[in-house]
Chains A and B, each alone.
Chain A
Amino acid sequence: MAHSIRISYSACHGCVNCIKSCPTEAIRVINGSIAIIKDLCVDCGECLRACARKALGLDDDDWDLIHTHGVAEGLPDPTFFAQFGSFWLPEEAKKTLSGNGIDLLTDEAELAFDLSAYAAARIIDEMSYDQLPLISAYCPSVIGIIQLQFPELLSRVLPVKNPLEIAAELWRKKTKSYAPMTLFTPCPAKITLVREPMGKEPSSIQHIVSVRKVVHSLMASGVKVSRTEPPTKSGWRFPTWGVRGGETRHISKFSGKELTVIAVSGLRNTKDLLQQLELGRLRGVDFVECRTCDLGCFGGVAVPESRFLAHLRNRRIETEWNLSEKRAHELKELYEMPKLWHTREPIPSKQRLPLSSDLGEAMERMKQMKAIFAEMPHIDCGACGRPSCKAMAEDIVREQGEITDCIFKLREGISSLASQILSLADSQPHTIQKRR
């Protein structure tokens, strides 16, 4: 597993703000600058938010380079349309941007998100009570948290591909074109989704650029939303996925039953909800949607517009949920092609290595760890480069650190050394006459 966070070593001063923000304790400071343990990073972007020096960024592609190479095939994230100071209906955006050398794949996106919701609704409708709730597979960062911290819940993740990936495949099928496609991403998580897809299947998407970069570049070249009043009605369903609960609503509208659903956003809510699910406390719920970003993808770290405003704009719009006959037929047909939308392989768990692969040995190390921890100051100062005293104690028994990495322990060591020196200084060789 890779991650999609770029570290600027010249800007990083080795402060400890980011290491404490990371929900999976994936960051360490080593030799004055940070290191991300890649197997632990879930690309939530929280460390970017925590870094005041902007030493952390998205590891995305160079938009200027992509953009100057003729027409760019752009796959818009659902968040894209609320970014230009108003809400842009996808057909308007498509029309305007075609004048800017961008072919916006709005129709494919709409079909793919429809298909994803349709397939999800069919799967949920057929599940029995004790197989439910199922968990949304949309936010790659949530999947990472489940892989690391709630592996027992992996079997509950909806086995439907990310609709952005489905959209790319639909476009390839339709156009038979090999032209490179660029995803406009709100977050590092969707970069990793494309660069390191879960199964063996490679992604159909070639480039990934942040929504922020694309929007800024377009605004700089004078692109504006043509309408003055925001729309109140929209025939487009997929932009609603930008905000928490959008996916849930889409699935509910397509389900034959009255679904009981929970949608939460933010890291803490996500973890709490998953924990309650793991403890078997969510009986009677059919579907849960988690997004690690506040308010959903509008809160993504690479989205320029205020998430509050974007949320507001989205909420004002009345969406058309009834399917046209043509679309209903189309979805039915595509649903019969599971290769297009069903995930190929189960998601592997990504648990941390145990203290030892031998249980007896691991128990011994656990005791050592507890003994070391008991002697530490328990103030989680971060000066050792670890997120907490506990993580420090763990690194020591894993032989990835020394007790003297703790400045308090170092100080204790120096002070005991100093008193030893004093007492040594007092004991003089016999050949020298004692003073006093």
Chain B
Amino acid sequence: MPEPLDLEYDVVADDYQTAGEASNNLKETLKMLGLPSSVVRRAAIITYEAEMNLVIHGGGGRIIANIDEEKIEIKTIDRGPGIPDIVLAVREGYTTASDHAREMGFGAGMGLPNIKRNADEFEIETEVGKGTTLRTVIVFPQDTGKE
């Protein structure tokens, strides 16, 4: 079995201009690997929303994608404020986004619910004042990438 492929992206806090680059980049990479378009789309949505959360809420951070022949794991790590109530945060429409972020068209409270819907595994580890780690996995459909 070949070594997994690691991809890493740095995400800068409050940078609304370049926000979305990591998810675009990941999307191109997954396409070149020949993954099914449904997987590519789900990974793009997860990465995009997670990236936005790093920009808006997490004070910036890192996205780490790890691909092997069966699945892709997408993690985001930040040292931001943490999430006091995870259940609430994952609820549709819940948001603490600032007015500024909302003016920029972000913060509809659909990010985490969308991430959850598109992931086969979904975990949040968070500590208030310390930061948040989000871990998601998409399992490839059978027969993916077999000649």
Contacts and interface: CB of A to CB of B under 8 A. Distances in A.
A289 B67 CA distance: 36
A357 B32 contact: no
Contacts of B31: 351-352, 354
Contacts of A366: 5, 29, 32-33
Interface residues of A, number: 25
Contact of B41 (A152, A283, A351, A358): A152
B69 A359 contact: yes
A26 B33 CA distance: 19
Given A152-B41, A279-B44, A355 B5 contact: no
Interface residues of B, number: 30
B45 A354 contact: no
A360 B144 CA distance: 10
Given A358-B145, A358-B146, A363 B44 contact: no
A203 B106 CA distance: 45
A352 B40 CA distance: 14
A357 B20 CA distance: 28
Given A360-B1, A360-B145, A363-B2, A355 B32 contact: yes
Interface in A332-369: 349, 351-364, 366-367
A296 B42 CA distance: 31
Contact of A280 (B2, B38, B45, B145): B45
Q: Which of A280, A349, A357 has the most CB of B within 10 A?
A: A280
B2 A364 contact: yes
A278 interface: yes
A354 B34 contact: yes
A151 interface: yes
Contacts of A283: 110
Contacts of B23: 279
B37 interface: yes
Interface string A366-405: 1100000000000000000000000000100000000000
Nearest to A354: B34
Contact of B67 (A280, A349, A352, A363): A363
Interface string B100-121: 0000000000100010000000
Interface in B82-103: none
Contact of A354 (B24, B32, B38, B41): B32
A130 to B, nearest CB: 12
B33 A354 contact: yes
Nearest to B48: A279
Nearest to A357: B147
A358 B69 CA distance: 10
Interface string A262-278: 00000000000001001
Contacts of A394: 32
Nearest to A351: B31
A356 B34 contact: yes
Contacts of A364: 2
Given A360-B69, A363-B2, A152 B38 contact: yes
Given A280-B114, A357-B147, A363 B5 contact: yes
Interface in A267-310: 275, 278-280, 283
B119 to A, nearest CB: 14
A362 B38 CA distance: 18
Contacts of B24: 275
A359 B37 contact: no
Given A279-B23, A355-B33, 20 more contacts: A152-B40, A279-B45, A279-B49, A349-B37, A351-B31, A352-B31, A357-B34, A357-B147, A358-B145, A358-B146, A359-B33, A360-B1, A360-B2, A360-B145, A361-B2, A362-B33, A364-B2, A366-B33, A367-B3, A394-B32
Q: Which 5 A-B pairs have the closest CB atoms?
A: A359-B145, A354-B34, A360-B2, A152-B41, A362-B33
13 contacts: A152-B37, A152-B41, A354-B31, A355-B34, A357-B145, A358-B146, A362-B32, A363-B2, A364-B2, A366-B5, A366-B32, A366-B33, A367-B3
